[in-house]
Amino acid sequence: MEIFVEVARQRSFSAAARRLGLSRAMVSKHILQLEEKLNVRLLHRSTREVSLTDAGQAYLAPCDAAVRQAQEAARIVTQTGDTLAGPLRIQAPSSFGVTWLADALARFSQPHPQLRPLLHVDDALLDPIAHGFDLTIRVGGIPDSRALAIRPLAPCRAVLCASPDYLHAHGTPAVPEELRHHRCLHFSHLTDGTAWHFERSGERRTVHVDAAFTSNNGLVLHQAALQGSGIVYSTTFLAWRALQAGTLVAVLPDWQLPLNHLSALYPASGRPSPKVRKLIDFLVDEYQPVPPWDVALGAAAATPAASPVSFGDE
């Protein structure tokens, strides 16, 4: 049943075999045995892909639930006290995964030598359940799904910044509308496209910038800003060190950008495993009430802002 769920999730015998640490032939053999036992065909096979039959589609949900219950039962009897063991699959945005989560995971795992974290950094809004993640970290981009439980980890403040060399050469914008005359470095996962929103003392303005450089990766844009390529729409968790050092300078600091939140997502069915629960508790302790990057910048714990604009998975 576990192998069937993974094949259905991956739509591939080979991909499922890699995830499960089995040979493709062994995966195929187990699926054939399951179909013979049930006396029904669960999967359509072709040279290009694997798809579910009607029977397979009907079987998948209860099968997945049964597998999760069995895994939870195993965790209950094998993970007692403070002992954590086995794989822990985590997905996070590239910029946050590299700059903050990798370090936190290393410290979290150190007392648990049997724990095997698998950190997948990806800026796409991947479906946590379909891709088999135990825990997903998101910056905005929260799905409307009853299948997922959500726990806030920290506020995520946006910031516009540029290098001193760029501002010396091109001038510093005094109002949002002047951004139209500047080179803007744009994060492609912003939900409103190139519409950048600002608020000050109840006044709201929106500027449609002409993006001189666009990327789906916040680290790429950060590096471009450091090299003087333009004004970047970034986050304080990524830009804080450069802002402290003066290699980047905040632009339009009197205008507030939409406030997002850093959140932890995990399957809502049943209780979270001890590994997931303890990791989330660890991250909450790390980032609340004020995340360390905002402490370093002397920022407030919460900043009133306009309606949130999702960063997707930066």
Q: Across the chain, what does the average pLDDT equal?
A: 86
Predicted confidence band at 67 (pLDDT cuts at 50, 70, 90)?
A: confident
Summary count for the chain: helices (H), strands (E): 11, 14
Single out the residue of 10, 21, 26 nearest to residue 60, CA to CA. Answer: 10
Q: What CATH number is given to the structural domain containing 93?
A: 3.40.190.10
What is the pLDDT, as a whole number, of residue 305? 43
- Asked if residue 312 is part of any domain, the answer here is no
Structural contact between residues 105 and 276, judged by C-beta atoms closer than 8 angstroms: no
- Asked if residue 256 is part of any domain, the answer here is no
Whether residue 130 sits in one domain with residue 113: yes
β-pairing, 195-200 with 135-139? unpaired
Tell me the pLDDT tens digit for each residue of 202-227.
899 999 998 999 998 899 999 999 99
Predicted confidence band at 20 (pLDDT cuts at 50, 70, 90)?
A: confident
Domain extent for 49 = 2-78
- Asked if residue 243 is part of any domain, the answer here is yes
Whether the upstream peptide bond of residue 176 has omega within 30° of 0, thus cis, is no
> Six-digit token pair at 32?
């054939």
Predicted confidence band at 180 (pLDDT cuts at 50, 70, 90)?
A: very high
Q: Which has the higher per-residue pLDDT, 284 or 15?
A: 284
Question: Is residue 1 over pLDDT 80?
Answer: yes
> Six-digit token pair at 50?
């694997």
> Six-digit token pair at 138?
């998101």
Single out the residue of 200, 213, 195 nearest to residue 309, CA to CA. Answer: 195
Predicted confidence band at 141 (pLDDT cuts at 50, 70, 90)?
A: low
- Asked if residue 300 is part of any domain, the answer here is no
- Asked if residue 173 is part of any domain, the answer here is yes
Whether residue 168 sits in one domain with residue 244: yes
What is the pLDDT, as a whole number, of residue 300? 38
Whether residue 119 sits in one domain with residue 45: no
Share of the chain above pLDDT 90, in %: 49
Whether residue 53 sits in one domain with residue 105: no
State the amino acid at position 309 in one-letter form: V
E strands, 180-259, in order: 184-187, 195-200, 203-208, 211-215, 231-235, 249-250
Whether residue 162 sits in one domain with residue 148: no
Separation in Å, CA 56 to CA 7, 43, 62, 222, 307? 11, 6, 11, 46, 42
**CA pair distance 4, 14, nearest whole angstrom:** 13
Question: Is residue 310 over pLDDT 80?
Answer: no
What domain count does the chain have? 3
Q: Domain ends where: 219, 250, 281?
A: 250
Q: Which residues contact residue 147 at a Cβ distance below 8 angstroms, ignoring those fewer than 6 apart?
A: 129, 267, 268, 269
- Asked if residue 191 is part of any domain, the answer here is yes
CA angle centred on 194, ends 166 and 261, rounded to 5°:
95
Return the H-helix or E-strand segment holding 98: none
pTM comes to 0.68
Tell me the pLDDT tens digit for each residue of 228-273.
999 999 999 999 999 999 999 999 999 999 888 899 998 877 677 8
What is the pLDDT, as a whole number, of residue 308? 46
Q: Which has the higher per-residue pLDDT, 47 or 132?
A: 132
What is the pLDDT, as a whole number, of residue 279? 94
Whether residue 148 sits in one domain with residue 175: no
- Asked if residue 41 is part of any domain, the answer here is yes
